[in-house]
């Protein structure tokens, strides 16, 4: 597996090895030893799988308690995946990074605790899977406004269209009202 540093401190884009032939393909999406050898000693406690249709935007979510690191990937379809650094002590505080993840490119993104995360569906539908380092804790979940101008995520939303948002995501907080991490 190839671990590529991104512009955000501690966020990695991963490219697993894919072995394919006329029958299909095989890839290893998680191996504790491989990650440990890359300097990422991670323990996962929860796996999630969501399916969303084209034009749905989920995010930008994070939890202030039971803070989750996430290893994210797409097993069918394609999404634009985005993260924002919320760690006061980080040199990349407030900066964002986005990348297309798809079943075709097999790429994954490691999002450590202390980041807001979300994605926008580019294909007819997408199956989004992610491993989490802590449990889901709805009472401490926060949503950063997906379109906050201070953060400036460049979502690939077509001109004259608006993404489909949940009621929770429609109430996302602006950057200057967010609780941040130390």
Active site residues: 61, 130
Positive/negative CA dihedral, 160, 166, 171, 173: negative
107/151 Cα distance (integer angstroms): 24
DSSP codes joined into one string, 1-31? -EEEE-SSTT-EEEE--EEEETTEEEE----
8/85 Cα distance (integer angstroms): 7
Instruction: Name residue 81's beta-bridge partners.
Output: 99, 119
Q: Kindly state the greatest CA–CA separation across the chain.
A: 53
Structure tokens given for 1: 């597996």
Instruction: Name residue 5's beta-bridge partners.
Output: 12
> At CA 106, angle to CA 19 and CA 124, rounded to 5?
125
């Amino acid at each position: 597996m190839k671990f590529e540093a991104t512009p955000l401190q501690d966020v990695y884009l991963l490219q697993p090895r894919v072995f394919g032939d006329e029958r299909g393909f095989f890839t290893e999406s998680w191996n504790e030893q491989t990650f440990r050898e890359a300097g990422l000693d991670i323990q996962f406690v929860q796996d999630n799988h969501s399916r969303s249709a084209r034009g749905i935007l989920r995010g930008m979510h994070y939890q202030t308690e039971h803070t989750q690191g996430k290893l994210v990937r797409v097993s069918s379809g394609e999404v634009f995946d985005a993260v924002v650094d919320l760690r006061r002590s980080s040199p990349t505080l407030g900066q964002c990074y986005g990348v297309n993840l798809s079943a075709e490119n097999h790429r994954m993104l490691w999002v450590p605790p202390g980041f807001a995360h979300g994605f926008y569906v580019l294909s007819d539908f997408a199956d989004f899977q992610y491993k989490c380092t802590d449990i889901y804790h709805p009472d401490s979940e926060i949503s950063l406004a997906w379109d906050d101008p201070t953060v400036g995520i460049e979502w690939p939303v077509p001109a004259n269209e608006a993404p489909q948002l949940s009621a929770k995501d429609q109430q996302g907080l602006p950057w200057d009202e967010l609780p941040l991490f130390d």
